[in-house]
């Protein structure tokens, strides 16, 4: 980009010969004949043009960064998440929460698609506050027993585990199910392939996770995890996030592990070691783009840049309130504590979830 020429008159020969200063023996050096304001104006011009040059360089860098990020985002798979979502059925945001953002995050562990089909193992509702100062992420257990709306293909219209919505009607039916249950309007949807996220962890050089106890994985090669802070590579982190049968609280332990892994990824991804290393940042962005899908209108990385001021310490992870587990026919299910959950999701809808606490009753 070219810089315009100085609109002021060029320096005369005396200024050039003496580096821009008047000769010491010049009669103009007399303060009564040459006010100091002339020199101040000249140096002001130099300073201003220096600032212009710096602004152009900085602007060009930001434009280049934005173009690069956009090129990476083009590799993200796009889905029609709201295809069958009827506007008249959807919740509305109150005026004070219009600048807040609600993102439905669905995770699929694709290690065995023939068995798991198209069901989703992870369901999270992420809320970013209107002032972009913090976020709350609510995990909804996949076995939560809820009313599933009827889809266009005739499935649903019954009570079932929430992840059945994904199997019966894909992302749109999951959006309708979560909105119907939470009364929170979803702005965007992201689908994570957790197997692909192993590459994201590797691109970061691994993550640090605090393992709660010694245990052995139930999946080959049957890794042994030791209690305490551990450094995990991608395959280890993915294996850790799958474990539940070795824990008394079952699927709730897996939810905790998933939350730990996601928080550790966010902590590492926003560290100076990644943000200031072009190679590592490039690997991270490419791995992330390959591991996720998003709705067609979500400016994913642009939003991430806008929200980069939210550190992992400002993200609160919550599990949807429940009354415990039980059986519906031959199915083991999780029962939502609807009254407590209602206060949580009302706080999210009103953008007051940052201070929400479960009731004592």
Are the CB atoms for 201 and 207 separated by under 8 Å? yes
- The DSSP call for residue 130 is T
**Calpha distance 27→264 (Å, rounded):** 71
pLDDT of residue 105: 95
pLDDT of residue 40: 64
**Calpha distance 254→215 (Å, rounded):** 13
Residue 74, Cβ density class (10 Å: 0-12 exposed, 13-18 middle, ≥19 buried): exposed
Helices (H) and strands (E) in the chain, counts: 11, 15
**Calpha distance 223→240 (Å, rounded):** 9
The CA-based angle 264-265-268, given to 5 degrees, is 85
pLDDT of residue 153: 84
Q: Which contiguous run of DSSP H or E holds residue 213?
A: none
Could you give the domains of the chain? 13-69 (no CATH), 75-355 (3.40.630.190)
pLDDT of residue 227: 97
The answer for 105, left when phi > 0, alpha when psi is -120 to 50, beta otherwise, is beta
CA 253 to chain centroid: 23
pLDDT of residue 221: 95
Give the position of tokens 């083991």. 332
pLDDT of residue 344: 97
The pLDDT tens digits along the chain (361 residues) read 443 444 444 444 444 344 444 444 444 344 445 556 666 666 666 666 565 655 555 455 555 556 666 677 788 889 999 998 999 999 999 999 999 999 999 987 553 333 334 568 899 999 999 999 999 999 999 999 999 999 888 889 999 999 999 989 999 999 999 999 999 999 999 998 877 889 999 999 999 999 999 999 999 999 999 999 999 999 999 999 989 999 988 889 999 999 999 999 999 988 878 877 888 888 888 898 889 899 999 988 778 777 877 888 899 999 999 999 999 999 999 999 999 999 999 999 999 999 999 876 5
Are the CB atoms for 185 and 102 separated by under 8 Å? yes
Positive or negative torsion for Cα 85, 90, 96, 100: negative
Residue 323, preceding peptide bond in cis (omega within 30° of 0): no
Cα-based torsion angle of the residue sequence 92, 95, 97, 98 in order, rounded to the nearest 10 degrees: 80
End-to-end CA distance of the chain: 65
**Calpha distance 22→16 (Å, rounded):** 9
pLDDT of residue 313: 87
H helix intervals, the chain: 13-17, 37-73, 113-116, 164-182, 194-203, 234-242, 251-269, 272-275, 278-291, 300-306, 338-349
Closest CA to 286 of 208, 207, 196, 205: 196
pLDDT of residue 121: 83
pLDDT of residue 51: 59
**Calpha distance 160→234 (Å, rounded):** 33
pLDDT of residue 281: 83
Q: What is the DSSP string of 11-39?
A: P-HHHHHTTTSPPTT-GGGSTTTS-THHH
pLDDT of residue 272: 75
Q: Which residues pair with 103 in a beta bridge?
A: 126, 188
Are the CB atoms for 158 and 148 separated by under 8 Å? yes
Q: Show Cβ contacts of residue 182 under 8 Å, excluding neighbours closer than 6 positions.
A: 91, 125, 341, 345, 348, 349
Are the CB atoms for 214 and 189 separated by under 8 Å? no
């Amino acid at each position: 980009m070219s810089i315009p020429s100085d609109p002021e008159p060029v320096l005369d020969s005396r200024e050039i010969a003496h580096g821009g200063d008047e000769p010491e023996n010049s009669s103009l050096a007399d303060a009564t004949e040459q006010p100091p304001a002339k020199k101040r104006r000249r140096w002001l011009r130099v300073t201003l043009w220096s600032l212009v040059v710096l602004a152009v360089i900085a602007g060009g860098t930001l434009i280049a960064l934005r173009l690069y990020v956009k090129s990476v985002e083009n590799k993200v798979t796009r889905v029609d998440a709201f295809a069958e979502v009827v506007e008249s059925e959807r919740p509305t945001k109150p005026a004070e929460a219009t600048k807040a953002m609600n993102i439905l995050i669905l995770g699929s562990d694709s290690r065995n698609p023939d068995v798991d089909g198209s069901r989703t193992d992870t369901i999270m509702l992420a809320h970013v506050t209107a002032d972009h100062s913090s976020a709350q992420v609510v995990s909804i257990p996949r076995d939560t027993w809820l009313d599933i709306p009827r889809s266009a293909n005739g499935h649903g219209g019954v009570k079932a585990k929430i992840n059945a919505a994904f199997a019966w009607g894909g992302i749109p039916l999951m959006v309708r199910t979560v909105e119907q249950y939470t009364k929170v309007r979803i702005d965007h949807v992201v689908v994570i392939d957790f197997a692909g996220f192993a590459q994201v962890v590797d691109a970061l050089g691994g993550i640090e996770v605090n393992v709660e106890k010694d245990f052995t994985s139930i999946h080959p090669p049957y890794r042994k995890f030791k209690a305490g802070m551990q450094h995990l590579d991608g395959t280890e982190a993915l294996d850790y996030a799958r474990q539940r049968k070795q824990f008394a609280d079952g699927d709730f332990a897996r939810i905790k592990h998933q939350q730990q892994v996601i928080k550790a990824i966010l902590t590492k991804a926003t560290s100076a070691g990644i943000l200031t290393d072009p190679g590592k940042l490039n690997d991270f962005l490419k791995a992330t783009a390959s591991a996720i899908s998003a709705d067609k209108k979500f400016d994913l990385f642009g939003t991430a840049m806008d929200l980069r001021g939210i550190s992992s310490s400002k993200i609160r992870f919550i599990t949807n309130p429940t009354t415990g587990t039980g059986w519906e026919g031959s199915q083991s299910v999780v029962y939502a504590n609807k009254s407590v959950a209602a206060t949580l999701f009302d706080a999210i809808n009103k953008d007051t979830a940052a201070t929400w606490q479960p009731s004592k009753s």
